[in-house]
A and B are shown apart, each in its own frame.
Chain A
Amino acid sequence: MSEMLLFKDIDQPGLNTLSVYEARGGYASLRKALAMTPADVLAELEASGLRGRGGAGFQMGKKVSFLPKGAMDKYLVCNADESEPGTFKDRELMQKNPHVLIEGIVIASYAAGAERSFIYIRGEYVHQADIIDAALAEAREAGFVGERILGSEHTLSLHVHRGAGAYICGEETGLLDSLEGKRGNPRLKPPFPANQGLYQGPTLINNVETLSTVPSIIEMGGGEYAELGVQTSTGTKLVSVSGHVQRPGNYEIELGIPSRELIYDLAGGPLPGHEIKCWFPGGSSSPVLTPADLDVPYDFDSMAKAGSMLGSGAIIVVDDSTPIVDLALKVAKFYRHESCGKCTPCREGTNWTVKMLERIDNGEATPMDLDIMASVQDHIIGNCLCVLGDAMAMPIGSLIAKFREEFEAHIEAARARGELALAGANGGGPHPGVSYESAQALGEELR
Chain B
Amino acid sequence: MSPVPRIPGGERASGWDRPADLEKDPALIPDLASTNVPDELRRQVEDLMSRYPDRHSAAIPALHAAQELHGWCSPEAIEQVAAVMQVTPAYLDSVASFYDMLENHPVGKHSVYVCTNISCSLRGADALLEAVVAAAGDDAEFNVRAFECLGACDIAPMASVDGVYVGPLELSDVPQLLEDTRSGRPVLPAKQLATKLVADPNANSQQFPQHAIEEGSR
Contact = CB atoms under 8 A, between A and B. Distances in A.
A164 B64 contact: yes
B149 A83 contact: yes
9 contacts: A7-B202, A12-B212, A15-B217, A124-B150, A181-B60, A242-B156, A243-B119, A244-B122, A249-B199
Interface residues of B, number: 59
A10 interface: yes
Contacts of A84: 149
B204 A12 contact: yes
A116 B53 contact: yes
Nearest to A6: B203
Contacts of A82: 151
Contacts of B88: none
A401 B42 CA distance: 56
Interface stretch (A217-225, A326-334, A347-355): A326-334
Contacts of A88: 151-154
A92 to B, nearest CB: 6
B203 A252 contact: yes
Contacts of A127: 163-165, 193-194
Nearest to A126: B163
B74 interface: no
Instruction: Name which of A122, A161, A318 has the most chain B CB atoms within 10 A of its CB.
Output: A161
B117 A165 contact: no
Interface in B95-117: 95, 98-102, 113, 117
A96 interface: yes
Given A11-B212, A85-B118, A334-B118, A184 B200 contact: no
Instruction: Name which of B52, B99, B119 has the most chain A CB atoms within 10 A of its CB.
Output: B119
Interface of B: 51-61, 63-64, 94-95, 98-102, 113, 117-119, 121-123, 147-156, 160, 163-165, 193-194, 197-206, 208, 211-212, 215, 217-218
B151 A330 contact: no
Contacts, number: 208
Interface of A: 1-2, 4, 7-16, 73, 82-88, 90-92, 95-96, 116, 122-127, 131, 159, 161-167, 178-184, 199, 240-244, 247-252, 266-267, 280, 284, 314, 316, 318, 322, 327, 330-331, 334, 337-338, 340
Contacts of B101: 123-124, 164-165
Contact of B160 (A124, A249, A267, A314): A124
Given A1-B202, A12-B204, A316 B94 contact: no
Contacts of A16: 217-218
A87 B204 contact: no
Given A8-B205, A11-B203, A181 B118 contact: no
Contacts of B122: 243-244, 316, 318, 322
